[in-house]
Amino acid sequence: MKTELVKNFKEHFNREATGLFFCPGRVNLIGEHIDYNGGKVMPCAISKGTYLAIAKTTEKKFRFACLDFPETAELHIQSSYSKAGKQWFNYPLGILDHLIQNGYELSGLDMLFSGDLPVGAGLSSSASIEVLTIFAMSKLFDINISRVEMALAAKKVENEFIGVSCGIMDQFAVAMGKSNEAILLDCETLQHEYIPFECGEYSLTIINTNKQRALAESKYNERFAECGAALKALKKELAIEKLCDLDLKTLEAHQHLIENEILFKRARHVISENERVKKAATALKTGAFTDFGSLMLASHHSLKELYEVSGIELDTIIEFAAKFKSCIGARMTGAGFGGCAIALIKKDSINDFTAKLVPFYKNNIGYEPSVFVSNAEEGVREIKL
């Protein structure tokens, strides 16, 4: 990828790149749909991501190109920008606009992007390109900005420039990732702890359903509202601010407050998932990897049965993985309704797993999934040319 990108940069812009950068995507290992309920998430950066070859120019223009999309852009440097349709270059443009709005002077730039993250798979391709761009700008223009501030800036761009109401997890994970470590993150306070995630004889296996997540946003808003309604009912007797302030025993003792069965199911998922995250952190710290795998399977069951954000594609993958003898854990990751699943598979069984999963999935769904292996990786970084 590096060699091809540098070669293409010279062909496209008729000059040599002077900088090369990479930002990974991410998966959430456990802790789904609890960030907006006061719980903690546990993401890690992965091996696939986005690359940027770049060079400053004396021209007062930003030039954008990408090996993965045909659209290019050449924009004169100005005092502000606004989103232009749904083109991919809105993501780096939003970052440049953010920096300009905050008083940073930028020169002309030639930028060539490329990546191996599947778009729409829930692996944070947009966060990857945003954090990648601001990291590259910090290096090229000697901007003193921390990685946490980069993540916050990228979230602000996603929310206000792109117009997507995302949380901080994606940007934080790709900016702050560490090799062989997961991040236990409180999305509200940004307090975080690195947890060892060395898989030993197992591999973190990522399975893309290859179904775009068309329903995710509307269902996300619906679940958000349902959790709010459950919290409101519980606050009649309990002095709590978030659902994750509760444990399961307290929830069950006050079940009478939530008359709607669906709302109770949503609350039960949130609170049980929060407890699973705590147990998962302990399991990883003590090397109890099989316990972590069991928690993954319990998480998926809860997301399927109580929170109802899975789907036939994800369930087909988990059904297969749960019965595969060399798999100790599997779950959907991300918002749901498509996207990706993750599984912990013995390294010497990956080829067998893939060879058997692909026809099983195709027979049930009608098309093939994509399978790849990753470690927990470093976050955004510069690559030597």
In a shared domain, residues 159 and 32: yes
CATH number of the structural domain spanning residue 310: 3.30.70.890
Report the candidate in 230, 255, 208, 253 with the shortest Cα–Cα distance to residue 307: 230
In a shared domain, residues 253 and 317: yes
In a shared domain, residues 219 and 177: no
In a shared domain, residues 191 and 233: no
In a shared domain, residues 243 and 326: yes
**DSSP per position, 202-218:** EEEEEEE-----TTHHH
- For the stretch 36-66, pLDDT in tens is 999 999 999 999 999 999 999 999 999 999 9
Domain count, the chain: 2
**Does position 114 have pLDDT exceeding 60, yes or no?**
yes
Strands 43-57 and 108-115: antiparallel
In a shared domain, residues 345 and 225: yes
| Letter string b/e over residues 132-170, b meaning 16 or more CB atoms within 10 A of that residue's CB | bbbbbbbebeebebebeebbbbbbbbbeebbeeebebbb
Asked if residues 179 and 377 have their Cβ atoms less than 8 Å apart, the reply is yes
Query: Is 0.85 surpassed by the pTM of this model?
Result: yes
Give the pLDDT mean for 173-182. 98
In a shared domain, residues 206 and 175: no
Residue 1 pLDDT class (50, 70, 90 cuts): confident
In a shared domain, residues 155 and 271: no
- For the stretch 311-346, pLDDT in tens is 999 999 999 999 999 999 999 999 888 899 999 999
**Share above pLDDT 70 across residues of the chain, in percent, rounded to a whole number:** 98
In a shared domain, residues 235 and 128: no
CATH number of the structural domain spanning residue 162: 3.30.230.10
- 108 is written with which tokens? 């002309």
In a shared domain, residues 106 and 12: yes
- For the stretch 238-292, pLDDT in tens is 999 999 999 999 999 999 999 999 999 999 999 999 999 999 999 999 999 999 9
In a shared domain, residues 244 and 318: yes
- Active-site residues, by number, are 170
**DSSP per position, 162-202:** I-----SHHHHHHHH-BTTEEEEEETTT--EEEEE---TTE
Asked if residues 380 and 23 have their Cβ atoms less than 8 Å apart, the reply is yes
**Does position 86 have pLDDT exceeding 60, yes or no?**
yes
Strands 108-115 and 61-66: parallel
Cα gap 227→62, rounded to integer Å: 44
In a shared domain, residues 246 and 350: yes
**Share above pLDDT 90 across residues of the chain, in percent, rounded to a whole number:** 90
Q: Which domain holds residue 97?
A: 2-197+378-382
